[in-house]
Amino acid sequence: MFKMDHLINYIKKLRQKMKMDWDRHVSIQDLLSDRWETAKFYGFGKGTSCYNNSLIQGDVKVGKNTWIGPNTVLDGKGSITIGDFCAISTGVQIYSHSSVKWSTSLGKLPLEYSPVKIGNGVFIGPNSIIQMGVTIGDRAIIGAMSFVNKNVPENGKWYGVSKKS
């Protein structure tokens, strides 16, 4: 017979182990799941880890040894490709589709789709947003809380917001 006390005690032990091993606290779902197993389930590359509380939808391909942080959104409805040795920080949102025209036309216009491509060795800082159709070159750095709506070249640095005409 299931007893709630057993579950609570098990979660407490997992929290203590996480604190001792990694000096961190994570959500219960991330205590109960393995980041590398989650990445493997989605077919991501060897050595890649992905927090269980990430939203992953559509066509998302991720290379090897990439870290996908907690509370991320990978909206691959129009396709997302992420290379090897990337860091997709906490709260990053990557979109490959848009409902702006559909919504503002009261449903007369279709949703828009355009793939996102992120090269190898890319760092995307916390809480950044990558818009559909963007390509980010190898070894580029995207600063925290950036809004990326234009392509970023290889070794490029992007910090903040830029208005696309």
- Catalytic positions, please? 97
Q: How many helices (H) and strands (E) does the chain have?
A: 4, 15
Cα–Cα distances in Å, from 104 out to 77, 88, 107, 110, 111? 20, 31, 7, 11, 11
3-state helix, strand, coil in the chain (%, to 5): 20, 30, 50
Q: What is the DSSP letter of 111?
A: P
**CA distance linking residue 12 with residue 62, whole number of Å:** 33
